[in-house]
Chains A and B, each alone.
Chain A
Amino acid sequence: MAGNRSETAQGLTLITPPLLYSVLVLAAPLFTILAYSFLKDGYLTVIREFTLENYVQVWGDPIFRRIMLRSLGVAAMVTLVTVVLAFPVAYFLSFVVAPERKALWLFLITIPFWTSYLIRVFLWKVILGYNGVINSGLLSIGIIDEPLTFILYNVNSMVITLAHAYAPFAILPIFVALEKIDRPLLEAGRDLGENRLMTFWRVTLPLAMPGVVAASLIVFIPTIGDYVTPELIGGGKIPMVANMIQVQMLALDNRPLGAAMAVTAMLVVAVLSLAFVLVNRRFLKVQR
């Protein structure tokens, strides 16, 4: 099997540069964080002694718990809003748009990515702000007498911003799942006596579920750790877990505690993602 071996060697050679790169920029920092989380804090320095003290502190900290729950809550809300809004778009793309136009539509959907994430978040601030587009617009046509406050510096505004930012990530997997549905299946649903709505409920939606689950996962995981949006749109008054970690790490300079928070947050997300994947697998099994 000399040929095989050289093929293996070739493969290894090919993946070595990206592998080294990922080890350097991904695995190494992760291990550093993990290591830090088990060290003692000596105020401004780190004492190289093993301890579980940080975890005890994190798990016992009501503020961390509240902020972690808030992060999960915001992420869940964002996921729900994003997926619910993305589904009709994906459906339209898959079922209404003519096949030769689909590529164009997909391209148009990616346009928001041409602008940096930071700028997009900032733009929402301009739109939703106290003197923003919405408030000044509504004021000038006399619908409201004073600026609306429920749309800035709170959870609502964060959900609006993040849902917009992650919309394409939700649209694409749902679109792919819908594309894979054999069209005669929908005709069969109608043929067997169900109207369009019931056919959607009994055929289209169950078959699109793998895409919905994937979309949820793709939106949920990054939004939990989002840092920019709470900072800018939330006005820093409603921190999420990433902001809290940042404060521990930099402002308070308690790296071991910050690291323990980061690891804990990662664990929580990992467990939830695993649950998602299991649900996904159940649907995927049926698909084949």
Chain B
Amino acid sequence: MTNTNTSDRKPMIECRGVHKHYGDYHALRGIDLTIRAGEFFSLLGPSGCGKTTLLRTIAGFEDISDGVVMIDGQDMVHVPANRRPTNMVFQSYAIFPHLSVAQNVGFGLRRDPRPARDKAAAVEDALAMVGLAGYGNRAAHALSGGQRQRVALARALILKPKVLLLDEPLSALDRKMREQMQVELIKLQRQVGITFVLVTHDQEEALVMSDRIAVMFEGEIAQLDGPEALYSRPASRRVADFLGVMNFLPARVTQDRAEGVLVETPGFGVVEIPNRNVSRANPDDAGPMVGFRPEAVSLLRAGQPESGNITHGTIDEVVYYGDMTYYDVRMDGAAGFDGIAPPVRISMRNVFGRELPDVGTRVRVSWSPGGLILFR
């Protein structure tokens, strides 16, 4: 999350009622979306949700069946891909194998009126910007995955587009490289100030990099929000489930109040959930549910003083991650209204050198109503 407030910026990309049909398949079902200038925007969703189609629509590789796509206030309907103020970093990077690194980066400068020497300098600058200074004469096919991606970035950014489109740019890299590139991309975006639109299926990547995220399912935007709001106040169970881990417990709404909703939940008893934590988009008819993130509650060690509400439980599973551990805990009295008591997942940061509790250990779960979300 880059934490830059971009809400006052002018709109750069506007989609109004965008539909896309492929024969019988309805890939985009009425996308309304405004991406602001200078924003790092992500389209997040599972494969087949239409996020790549939407990106390709903005780039001009797909015609839209209905609706309007505007870039910087201009209707793009009749503007072909090569005339749009956008450039793309392709998932496969699409580095031209018959050209050198410098020729790849300079590919789009053919019609640039500057003399050849200035263009060569621009290519060198672009390579330096992505950390590939001096690589110009290399053959493109001799590059590693990470280097290819940098070339693809330099090749797009050298043209100073209004919008840079990134189609799953990090998915081909290994984890370490991916995390490094995430930080580099954020810095690069801040440095050049260009609007970045990223397509990803990796929720962590979206949370790390974006100013705002549109979560998409089946050709529709399910929620559009900043990373923090999206994570802590998901608009629907589906969004909550897709972004990180969310525990769900069956709930029974007992009373609507001015500041919140009174619900009864096995394990937690009767709780008042504040209105800001109530999500009314729960279309899958599973009845009301109370959800909480693994870090919204905590386990108390033996002898640790109690604070807030306490529920007792038994550790069912311990999943060790090095810096933190997931504990699957069966809470007492959590055998729901139907008698089933699924374990809930609770995460705790590990303290170096301290022993972890074993499976079967009785524990106290400390929680507060502020950490609970009601989906009704």
| Chain A interfacial positions (CB closer than 8 Å to B) | 182, 184-185, 187-195, 198-199, 202-203, 206-207, 283, 286-288
Contact = CB atoms under 8 A, between A and B. Distances in A.
A174 to B, nearest CB: 16
17 contacts: A182-B92, A185-B94, A185-B97, A187-B88, A188-B96, A191-B61, A191-B156, A192-B87, A192-B155, A193-B83, A193-B108, A194-B110, A195-B82, A198-B110, A202-B107, A286-B139, A287-B97
Contacts of A192: 82, 87, 107-108, 155-156, 159
Q: Which 6 A-B pairs have the closest CB atoms?
A: A192-B108, A188-B94, A184-B94, A190-B81, A286-B98, A206-B98
B82 A191 contact: yes
A206 B92 CA distance: 20
Interface string B89-118: 011101011100000000110110000000
A200 to B, nearest CB: 13
Contacts of A185: 94, 96-97
A195 B96 contact: no
B88 A191 contact: yes
Contacts of A191: 59, 61, 81-82, 86-88, 156
Contacts of B96: 185, 188, 203
Given A286-B139, A286-B141, A190 B82 contact: yes
Contact of B90 (A188, A193, A199, A286): A188
A184 B92 contact: yes
Which residue of B80, B88, B159 has the most chain A CB atoms within 10 A of its CB atom?
B88
Contacts of B81: 187, 190-191
Interface residues of B, number: 26
Contacts of B59: 191
A189 B103 CA distance: 12
Contacts of A199: 82
Nearest to B106: A192
B98 A287 contact: yes
Name A's interface SS.
Answer: helix
A187 B97 contact: no
A286 B156 CA distance: 22
B97 A207 contact: yes
Given A190-B80, A191-B61, 18 more contacts: A182-B94, A185-B94, A187-B81, A187-B90, A188-B88, A188-B96, A190-B82, A191-B87, A191-B88, A191-B156, A192-B108, A192-B156, A193-B110, A203-B96, A206-B98, A207-B98, A287-B98, A287-B141
Nearest to B59: A191
A194 to B, nearest CB: 6
Nearest to A184: B94
Nearest to B139: A286
Nearest to A206: B98
Contacts of B97: 185, 207, 286-288
Nearest to B158: A192
A182 B98 CA distance: 12
A193 B159 contact: yes
Contacts of A207: 97-98
A190 B159 CA distance: 13
A194 B92 contact: no
Interface string B62-92: 0000000000000000001111001110111
Nearest to A194: B82
B204 to A, nearest CB: 26
B16 to A, nearest CB: 24
Contact of B141 (A193, A202, A203, A288): A288
A187 B110 contact: no
Contacts of B61: 187, 190-191
B1 to A, nearest CB: 28
A202 B141 CA distance: 17
A143 B94 CA distance: 54
A188 B81 CA distance: 10
Contact of B80 (A184, A195, A287): A195
A287 B141 CA distance: 8
B94 A187 contact: yes
Contacts of A189: 107
Contacts of A194: 82, 108, 110
Contacts of B86: 191
Which residue of B60, B90, B91, B139 has the most chain A CB atoms within 10 A of its CB atom?
B90
Interface in B20-48: none
Which residue of A191, A206, A207, A286 has the most chain B CB atoms within 10 A of its CB atom?
A191
B159 A184 contact: no
Nearest to A195: B82
A19 B181 CA distance: 56
Contacts of A206: 98
Contacts of A182: 92, 94
Contacts of A286: 97-98, 139, 141
A202 B156 CA distance: 17
